[in-house]
Amino acid sequence: MDEAGTVKKFLFVNRKAPYGSVYALEGLEVVLISAAFDQDVGLAFLDDGVYQLAKGQNPKGIETKNFSPTYRALEGYDIEKLYVERESLEARGLTEGDLLVDVQVLGAAEMAALMDEMDVMISF
Amino acid sequence: MKIGVMVNEGPYQHQSSDSAYLFCKAAIESGHQIERVFFYHDGVNNATKLTEPPQDDRNVVARWTKLAEEHGVDLVVCVAAALRRGIVEQNLAQGFRISGLGQLVESAIQSDRLVVFGD
Amino acid sequence: MLHIVNKSPGERSTLASCLAHARPGHCVLLIEDAVYAATKGHAAGAQVAKALGGGVKVYVLTPDLEARARAGAVAEGVVQVDYRGFVDLVTQNPRVQSWL
């Protein structure tokens, strides 16, 4: 079967905080690989996933790699659709200004509508 | 229908590998094709041939191997996740192969559905 | 869309998050520890009832209920399915999302 030219809409849904588990870091590795497949890729951050984008992460004291600068490098991979849920920020006392990269802030209803347009959703 | 499956947790620790296996079996029985199962995160631990569960318990690893042998299911273990966790060719169970994350993305593109099992 | 939830609502907020994004006509399948949400008298019952009232279809995986001794206590409006039914939900819905 010839799959060349198939472009699907991917949404990587990040709902977990970084460092406490490996999902955020290894999830980001999938996102980077997906860039090589010329697909329509977006990332959504909701619930504790919004903490992945917090400015000022310093995991030196827990002897773990700081992978947060990678979110800023996504643009270089032509991954520019970063969606953050407003309700998730508000529930955590965060604002868009606390984030380390430019994002599009969406309400939960808008996020639900966005999800309804996707072909593939992988959540980490 | 072509269905891709992703398994993100190790065997015995979490139910996700059991759920994924039973889902695959039912899908095949219903006439669908499980074109690939991709093992990621601690899910790579499903691929070790060194596992020895007690006699009265299910053998999660052997069950995956049997599914691959009987139904031609492509069992792919992510190389980066596997190296982190000590899963290498020398301890890889029958029916599994180690490859890159691109295999997951490719599976998502080529399948009609991708179903993710994890924690 | 088919939403799959596997977390107990007594331990995590995953179900609430899923239901906040489930639109009318969507299906929600409760598996593994999430099956408790579909049982009579559970504190999460109001959330599930609200979803059902809003046009969301809620399903629960019977083998997971049976394993947990809750098969006889399924809340009204929730539909029980086996693994074949799980597969049918995946194929009948154009997209699938697992709320991990």
What CATH number is given to the structural domain containing C26?
3.40.1260.10
Tell me: the pLDDT tens digits for B2-61?
Answer: 999 999 999 999 999 999 999 999 999 999 999 999 999 999 999 999 999 999 999 999
The answer to whether the CB of B41 falls within 8 A of the CB of B35 is no
Quote the minimal CA–CA distance from C84 to chain B in Å: 5
Tell me if C32 and B16 make a contact (CB, 8 A cut-off): yes
C-alpha–C-alpha distance, residues C56 and C60, integer Å: 13
Q: Token match 């906040």: residue? A: C20
C-alpha–C-alpha distance, residues A118 and C44, integer Å: 28
Mark out the alpha helices in C1-100 (DSSP H runs): 14-19, 45-53, 62-67, 83-92
What backbone torsions phi and psi does residue C73 show, to the nearest 5 degrees? -130, 35
Quote the minimal CA–CA distance from B15 to chain A in Å: 17
Domains of chain A: 9-123 (3.40.1260.10)
Whether the per-residue pLDDT at C67 is higher than 50: the answer is: yes
Other beta carbons less than 10 A from residue B42's beta carbon? 24
Quote the minimal CA–CA distance from A49 to chain C in Å: 12
Model confidence band, residue A124 (pLDDT cutoffs 50, 70, 90): confident
Tell me if C84 and B23 make a contact (CB, 8 A cut-off): no
Please say if B78 is a catalytic residue. Answer: yes
Tell me if C91 and B113 make a contact (CB, 8 A cut-off): yes
Tell me: the pLDDT tens digits for A63-102?
Answer: 999 999 999 999 999 999 999 999 999 999 999 999 999 9
Q: How many domains does chain C have?
A: 1
Q: Quote the pLDDT of residue A121.
A: 98
Q: Quote the pLDDT of residue A49.
A: 98
List A residues 57-116 in contact with C (Cβ-Cβ < 8 A). Answer: 87, 108, 111-113, 115-116
The answer to whether the CB of C84 falls within 8 A of the CB of C47 is no
CA atoms within 13 A on the CB side of C86: 28
Instruction: Give the DSSP per-residue string, A86-99.
Output: HHHHHHTT--GGGB
The mean pLDDT value for C50-71 works out to 98
C-alpha–C-alpha distance, residues C27 and C55, integer Å: 9
Mark out the alpha helices in B1-119 (DSSP H runs): 16-29, 60-71, 79-84, 102-110
Question: Would you call B105 an interface residue with chain A, using a CB distance cutoff of 8 Å?
Answer: yes
What CATH number is given to the structural domain containing B92?
3.40.1260.10
Which residues are CB-neighbours of B36 under 8 A, at least 6 positions away?
B4, B5, B73, B74, B75, B76, B103, B107, B111
What is the ipTM metric for this complex?
0.97
**DSSP assignment, residue C94?**
S
What backbone torsions phi and psi does residue A37 show, to the nearest 5 degrees? -100, 10
Instruction: Give the closest of C13, C21, C100 to A115, CB-based.
Output: C21
- Write out the two tokens for C80: 């029980």
Which domain range does residue C7 map to?
A: 2-99
List A residues 28-57 in contact with C (Cβ-Cβ < 8 A). Answer: 46-47
A9 neighbourhood in chain B, CB within 8 Å:
none
